[in-house]
């Protein structure tokens, strides 16, 4: 049968185009990617052969081999792993199976530098071969197929590939790279040895390199002897005692399991014996993955049972809000033939989840002690962490302590105030934790609702992430202090308010009854109430939502954006009678003109609160009319 020509999936072609430019400075990673794939293929077969030992009977020793052929200018990476059939090769080496790939490429910006950074994060795997090769040939035979059912796949990376059925003696895969003229350094034993040890020392399959034996001095003219030399340790890193592992090894192992190109931010390696026996090696990436919020995203840890790889993306060991944590769990308490379904409702899984979650939180807690690093962490994963207190009730306090917020004390948008800080520095008689949610930090920081609280020196958390609203709606308190919104219609400062102030407030209400009544009459059912407030000091007015209506402006916007029906909301208008603008309005005796003032005041308050108005042009008109008077 002649070789058939196939086109790559569009995304693959795009990826291939970007690759050459973007990863060029880091081109040696192609070897890590190919050895990683080989090691995965070996792991998969090792797993299958537990059930079906026949599969590996005639070649029981797993290995990966790397061989350079200087004359031919080729570099070959071979494994005796699971291999591929023709159909599998067409599917796996012509498409990208990751969910959300199409979106990823659509969103990739035109900015080359940014695109290359993202490409690294996306994980390029097999296709990285084209960074250094003009032509890539894959000859593979599935462990389940006969010698005549092997496949030969070939491409120059320009948009198409060919594939055909061929014969191959043993199972597994040979990836043959015909190196570009400029990349011949990857034929040098020395370079290969260096790159392999750097990237693959910790993988559990032996990697052999085809090397020339240096002849002893007296045999200087003898023909060189070639032989296979094992170049990696082939000891699964996590099985070693932590004290014997160098930081550099932890970092490289992270890159191997995560396909990430950057170093991790931190890690935690724990071995636990006793009731529950497991080893966990967890990492926090430096950057949030591009699909952190995608519903289809496959997250989770690698699962090993007694050092045998069982599955990728085992998501049963961590709660959803810790979905950015990468790493592995190795346990002796699950059976080797455990399936995803069994995993989901096994009591051992539940115990492991509890234990691993504690480990992950402890790792993040430790990171919180390093201010700068934690700020980096928070910028990437803060919003996800805020899902924690609601999702993970049993660890609520623990997670709450890890949260950081912007506040009126720090005066910057940086989210760096912890709830513990807040509680520690607030006066004892303050019974609540005050917060304010708004669409942006600036809107929160400049909100008129803060005026009185600021004057009284009360710290207010300034919340502007989408998830904040939901967090506050679901978490009632922290260390005995209730969360209270600064926009609450009956904002109660409790003991922070002294008797004098209360009396003054009542007096003011009495003294300004006149204007309140006139405003009520003029605005009719546009408002639910009009009243005098003492929460404002610099602004003339504000609007306050009805406490029973749970929808805050941000929630309304979210509903609107989602195309949901949003009930019409009526606000109470609160005025600051000391403000000259209110004084000017009160001085207006003509009813029609006062009506204009009333509408203007309400619009102004709505605009300050929501950043938008239903009828902006009417507002501008009345503003102009008033200005020109």
E strand or H helix that includes residue 541 = strand 541-544
Residue number of the CB closest to ligand ADP reads: 125
Give the separation between CA 252 and CA 238, rounded to whole angstroms. Answer: 12
Does residue 37 belong to the site contacting ligand ADP (CB under 6 A)? yes
Does residue 174 belong to the site contacting ligand ADP (CB under 6 A)? no
For ligand ADP, which is the closer residue by CB, 29 or 606?
A: 29
For ligand ADP, which is the closer residue by CB, 41 or 402?
A: 41
Residue with tokens 């950015």: 324
For ligand ADP, which is the closer residue by CB, 8 or 304?
A: 8
Residues forming beta bridges with residue 283, ordered by sequence position:
267, 326
Does residue 389 belong to the site contacting ligand ADP (CB under 6 A)? no
Does residue 536 belong to the site contacting ligand ADP (CB under 6 A)? no
Does residue 299 belong to the site contacting ligand ADP (CB under 6 A)? no
Q: In angstroms, what is the minimal distance from the CB of 423 to ligand ADP?
A: 46
For residue 453, how far is the Cα from the chain centroid?
35
For ligand ADP, which is the closer residue by CB, 93 or 426?
A: 93
Q: Is 302 in a helix, a strand, or coil?
A: strand
Cβ contact 29:199 at 8 Å: yes
For ligand ADP, which is the closer residue by CB, 123 or 170?
A: 123
CB-based contacts of 282, cutoff 8 Å, min separation 6: 267, 268, 269, 301, 325, 326, 327, 356, 359, 360, 363
Q: In angstroms, what is the minimal distance from the CB of 194 to ligand ADP?
A: 22
Residues 497-535 as b or e (16 or more Cβ within 10 Å = b): eeeeeeeeeeebeeebeebbebbeebbeeebbebebbbb
DSSP code of residue 63: -
Task: Count interface residues toward ligand ADP (CB under 6 A).
Answer: 15
Give the separation between CA 535 and CA 447, rounded to whole angstroms. Answer: 11
Q: Which of 12, 31, 38, 66 binds ligand ADP (CB under 6 A)?
A: 38
The Cα diameter of the chain in Å comes to 117
Q: In angstroms, what is the minimal distance from the CB of 571 to ligand ADP?
A: 53
Q: Which of 47, 126, 250, 381 binds ligand ADP (CB under 6 A)?
A: 126
Residues forming beta bridges with residue 133, ordered by sequence position:
179
Q: In angstroms, what is the minimal distance from the CB of 44 to ligand ADP?
A: 8
Q: Which of 18, 75, 84, 118 binds ligand ADP (CB under 6 A)?
A: 84
Does residue 120 belong to the site contacting ligand ADP (CB under 6 A)? no
Residue with tokens 């809107």: 443
Q: Is 74 in a helix, a strand, or coil?
A: strand
Stretch that binds ligand ADP, among 35-43, 201-209, 319-327, 505-513 (CB under 6 A): 35-43
Pick from 71, 34, 69: nearest CA to 226 = 69
The 3-state secondary structure of 432-470, one letter per residue = EEEEEECCCHHHHHCCHHHHHHHHCCCCEEEECCHHHHH
Q: In angstroms, what is the minimal distance from the CB of 31 to ligand ADP?
A: 13
Does residue 119 belong to the site contacting ligand ADP (CB under 6 A)? no
Q: Is 298 in a helix, a strand, or coil?
A: coil
Q: Which of 18, 29, 41, 284 binds ligand ADP (CB under 6 A)?
A: 41
Stretch that binds ligand ADP, among 4-12, 75-83, 382-390, 615-623 (CB under 6 A): 75-83
Q: In angstroms, what is the minimal distance from the CB of 186 to ligand ADP?
A: 18
Does residue 79 belong to the site contacting ligand ADP (CB under 6 A)? yes
Does residue 163 belong to the site contacting ligand ADP (CB under 6 A)? no
Residue with tokens 């102030």: 501
Give CA separation, 203 vs 41, 331, 426, 560, in Å. Answer: 12, 18, 52, 51
For ligand ADP, which is the closer residue by CB, 142 or 603?
A: 142
Task: Please give the full DSSP string across 161-220, using - where no structure is assigned.
Answer: EEEEEE--SSSEEEEEEEE-GGGGGGG-HHHHHHHHHHHHTTSSS-EEEEEEEPPPGGGT
Does residue 173 belong to the site contacting ligand ADP (CB under 6 A)? yes
For ligand ADP, which is the closer residue by CB, 6 or 353?
A: 6
Q: Which of 123, 170, 439, 595 binds ligand ADP (CB under 6 A)?
A: 123
For ligand ADP, which is the closer residue by CB, 127 or 571?
A: 127
For ligand ADP, which is the closer residue by CB, 174 or 392?
A: 174
Q: In angstroms, what is the minimal distance from the CB of 82 to ligand ADP?
A: 6
Q: In angstroms, what is the minimal distance from the CB of 4 to ligand ADP?
A: 18
Task: Please give the full DSSP string across 383-414, using - where no structure is assigned.
Answer: HHHTTHHHH-GGGHHHHHHH--BEETTT-SS-
Does residue 81 belong to the site contacting ligand ADP (CB under 6 A)? yes
CB-based contacts of 259, cutoff 8 Å, min separation 6: 33, 36, 123, 124, 125
Q: Which of 15, 23, 75, 82 binds ligand ADP (CB under 6 A)?
A: 82
For ligand ADP, which is the closer residue by CB, 172 or 388?
A: 172
Give the separation between CA 461 and CA 441, rounded to whole angstroms. Answer: 10
Stretch that binds ligand ADP, among 119-127, 246-254, 337-345, 352-360 (CB under 6 A): 119-127
Report residue 110 as tokens. Answer: 């035109």
Stretch that binds ligand ADP, among 37-45, 276-284, 368-376, 551-559 (CB under 6 A): 37-45
Does residue 307 belong to the site contacting ligand ADP (CB under 6 A)? no
Report residue 596 as tokens. Answer: 């204009």
Q: Which of 6, 17, 92, 409 binds ligand ADP (CB under 6 A)?
A: 92
Roughly how many angstroms between the first and final C-alpha of the chain, as a whole number?
A: 91
Residues forming beta bridges with residue 269, ordered by sequence position:
281
Map residues 497-526 to x or -, x wherever contact with ligand ADP holds by CB under 6 A. ------------------------------
Q: In angstroms, what is the minimal distance from the CB of 161 to ligand ADP?
A: 13
Q: In angstroms, what is the minimal distance from the CB of 45 to ligand ADP?
A: 9
Does residue 415 belong to the site contacting ligand ADP (CB under 6 A)? no
Stretch that binds ligand ADP, among 4-12, 118-126, 276-284, 549-557 (CB under 6 A): 118-126
For residue 4, how far is the Cα from the chain centroid?
40
Stretch that binds ligand ADP, among 15-23, 79-87, 205-213, 410-418 (CB under 6 A): 79-87
Q: Which of 73, 125, 448, 553 binds ligand ADP (CB under 6 A)?
A: 125
Q: In angstroms, what is the minimal distance from the CB of 93 to ligand ADP?
A: 6
Task: Please give the full DSSP string across 218-268, using - where no structure is assigned.
Answer: GGTTSPPEEEEEE-S--S-GGGS-GGG--HHHHHHHHHHHH--SSPPSEEE
Task: Please give the full DSSP string across 112-161, using - where no structure is assigned.
Answer: HHHHHHHHHHH--GGGGGGGTEEEEEEEEE-TTS-GGGEEEEEE-SSSEE
For ligand ADP, which is the closer residue by CB, 300 or 389?
A: 300
Footprint of ligand ADP (CB under 6 A): 37-38, 41, 79, 81-84, 92-93, 123, 125-127, 173
């Amino acid at each position: 049968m002649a070789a058939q020509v196939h086109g790559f999936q569009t995304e693959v072609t795009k990826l291939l185009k970007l690759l050459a430019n973007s990863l060029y400075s880091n081109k040696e990673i192609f070897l890590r990617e190919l050895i990683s794939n080989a090691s995965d293929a070996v792991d998969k077969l090792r797993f299958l052969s537990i059930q079906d030992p026949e599969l590996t009977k005639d070649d029981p020793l797993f290995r990966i081999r790397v061989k350079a052929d200087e004359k031919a200018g080729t570099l070959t990476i071979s494994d005796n792993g699971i291999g591929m059939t023709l159909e599998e090769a067409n599917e796996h080496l012509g498409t990208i199976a990751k969910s959300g790939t199409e979106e990823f490429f659509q969103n990739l910006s035109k900015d080359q530098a940014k695109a290359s950074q993202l490409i690294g994060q996306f994980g390029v795997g097999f296709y990285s071969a084209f960074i250094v090769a003009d032509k890539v040939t894959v000859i593979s035979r599935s462990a389940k197929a006969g010698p005549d059912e092997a496949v030969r796949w070939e491409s120059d990376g320009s948009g198409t590939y060919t594939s055909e059925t061929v014969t191959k003696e043993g199972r597994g895969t040979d990836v043959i790279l015909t190196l570009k003229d400029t990349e011949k350094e990857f034929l040098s034993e020395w370079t290969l040895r260096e790159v392999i040890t750097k990237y693959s020392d910790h993988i559990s399959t032996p990697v052999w390199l085809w090397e020339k034996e240096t002849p002893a001095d007296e045999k200087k003219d003898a023909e060189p002897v070639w032989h296979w030399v094992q170049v990696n340790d082939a000891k699964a890193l996590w099985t070693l005692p932590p004290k014997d592992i160098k930081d550099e090894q932890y970092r490289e192992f992270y890159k191997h399991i995560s396909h990430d190109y950057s170093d991790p931010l931190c890690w935690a390696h724990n071995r636990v014996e006793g009731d529950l026996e497991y080893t966990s090696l967890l990492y926090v990436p430096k950057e949030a993955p591009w699909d952190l919020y995608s519903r289809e995203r496959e997250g989770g840890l690698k699962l090993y049972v007694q050092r045998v790889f069982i599955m990728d993306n085992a998501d049963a060991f961590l709660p959803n809000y810790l979905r950015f944590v990468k790493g592995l769990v190795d346990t002796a308490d699950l059976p080797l033939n455990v399936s995803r379904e069994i995993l989901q409702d096994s009591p051992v899984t539940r115990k492991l989840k509890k234990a691993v979650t504690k480990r992950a939180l402890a790792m993040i807690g430790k990171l919180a002690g390093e201010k700068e690093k934690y700020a980096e962490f928070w910028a990437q994963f803060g919003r996800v962490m805020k899902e924690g207190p609601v999702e993970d009730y049993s660890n609520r306090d623990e997670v709450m302590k890890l949260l950081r917020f912007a506040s009126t004390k720090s005066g910057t948008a940086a989210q760096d105030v912890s709830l513990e800080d807040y509680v520690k520095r607030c006066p004892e008689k303050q019974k609540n934790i005050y917060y304010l949610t708004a669409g942006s930090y600036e809107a929160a920081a400049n909100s008129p609702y803060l005026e009185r609280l600021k004057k009284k020196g009360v710290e207010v958390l300034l919340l502007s992430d989408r998830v904040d609203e939901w967090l506050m709606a679901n978490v009632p308190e922290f260390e005995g202090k209730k969360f209270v919104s600064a926009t609450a219609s009956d904002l109660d400062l409790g003991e922070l308010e002294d008797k004098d102030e209360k009396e003054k407030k009542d007096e003011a209400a009495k003294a300004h009854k006149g204007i309140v009544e006139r405003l009520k009459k003029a605005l009719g059912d546009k408002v639910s109430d009009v009243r005098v407030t003492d929460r404002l000091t610099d602004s003339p007015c504000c609007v306050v939502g009805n406490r029973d209506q749970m929808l805050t402006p941000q929630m309304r916007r979210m509903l609107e954006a989602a195309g949901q029906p949003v009930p019409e909301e009526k606000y109470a208008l609160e005025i600051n009678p000391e403000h000259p603008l209110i004084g000017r309005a009160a001085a207006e005796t003509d009813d029609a003109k006062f009506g204009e003032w009333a509408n203007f005041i309400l619009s102004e308050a709505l605009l300050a609160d929501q950043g938008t108005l239903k009828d902006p042009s009417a507002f501008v008109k009345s503003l102009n009319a008033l200005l020109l008077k």
